[in-house]
């Protein structure tokens, strides 16, 4: 038996989240001679107990695909993690340890204070992101990777608004859109993480309007990206 901790965060409704994660992991390993049982660590990470003929191969495959929380951040390294919180002092990212991206590290995302920048790009807690630890002169700085920044600017300049949602499945989000009569106002729903998604609006649809209608139907935090005009 192999036991591993993956860089997958459980939050919100634990039963619903665990069910979603179990379905994703089961699909990942359906062609491997192994079975996986999900547990949750005290910090909310997904712990997998793997049994079967190919348990070691399965463990390595899942670790390669999702990564693992780290205990120390090294200069020059890129890490995946989740937005933990946003406040006036910066954006806190959980990579296994929590690292803070200050306003100085957010310069590639334009002007404004921390909360204004986060609001501009629909950055909300639990959003999967990639960060980099860099050294500038004698100081160590945390920033989003170029690929992460480029993705947010791509969304901003795409010509359509987006609604970012956490703590929800694609089917739940799709049901909320359908129930509020907005199915014709969107192009579709993109997966960002297992429980994080983006609704892609049509050109004449505004994201705040979508949020006003679907918000009451979801137990989610919602962010918006308004297209750059």
Coil vs helix vs strand at 14: helix
Q: pTM to 2 decimals?
A: 0.93
Distance (Å, whole) CA 222 – CA 10: 18
CB contact at 8 A, 192 and 164: yes
Sketch the domain layout of the chain as residue ranges.
2-66, 78-151, 157-225
Distance (Å, whole) CA 189 – CA 197: 7
| Topology, domain 78-151 | OB fold (Dihydrolipoamide Acetyltransferase, E2P) (2.40.50)
Which residues lie below 8 Å from residue 106, measured CB to CB, with a gap of 6+?
A: 90, 91, 114, 117, 143, 144
Looking at the domain that runs over 157-225, which CATH code has it been given? 3.30.70.100
Provide the residue-wise pLDDT of the chain in tens; the chain has 229 residues.
999 999 999 998 888 889 999 999 999 999 999 999 999 999 999 999 999 999 999 999 999 999 999 999 999 999 999 999 999 999 999 999 999 999 999 999 999 999 999 999 999 999 999 999 998 777 889 999 999 999 999 999 999 999 999 999 999 999 999 999 999 999 999 999 999 999 999 999 999 999 999 999 999 999 999 998 7
CB contact at 8 A, 163 and 201: yes
pLDDT tens by residue, 118-176: 999 999 999 999 999 998 777 889 999 999 999 999 999 999 999 999 999 999 999 99
């Amino acid at each position: 038996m192999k036991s591993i901790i993956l860089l997958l965060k459980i939050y919100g409704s634990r039963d619903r989240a665990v069910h979603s994660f179990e379905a994703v992991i089961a699909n990942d390993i359906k062609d491997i001679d192994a079975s996986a049982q999900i547990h949750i660590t005290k910090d909310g990470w997904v712990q997998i107990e793997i049994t079967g003929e190919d348990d070691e191969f399965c463990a390595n495959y899942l670790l390669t695909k999702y990564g693992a929380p780290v205990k120390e951040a090294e200069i020059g390294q890129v890490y995946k993690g989740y937005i933990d919180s946003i406040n006036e002092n910066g954006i806190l990212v959980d990579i296994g340890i929590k690292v803070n991206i200050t306003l100085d590290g957010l310069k590639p995302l334009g002007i404004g204070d921390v909360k204004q920048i986060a609001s501009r790009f629909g950055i909300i807690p639990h959003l999967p992101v990639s960060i980099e630890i860099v050294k500038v002169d004698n100081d160590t700085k945390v920033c989003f990777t170029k690929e992460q920044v480029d993705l947010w600017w791509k969304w901003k300049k795409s010509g359509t608004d987006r609604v970012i949602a956490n703590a929800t499945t694609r089917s739940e989000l799709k049901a909320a859109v359908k129930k509020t009569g907005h199915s014709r106002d969107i192009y579709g729903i993109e997966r960002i993480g297992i429980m994080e998604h983006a609704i892609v609006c049509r050109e004449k649809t505004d994201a705040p309007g979508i949020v006003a209608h679907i918000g009451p139907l979801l137990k989610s935090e919602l962010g918006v990206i308004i297209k750059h005009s």
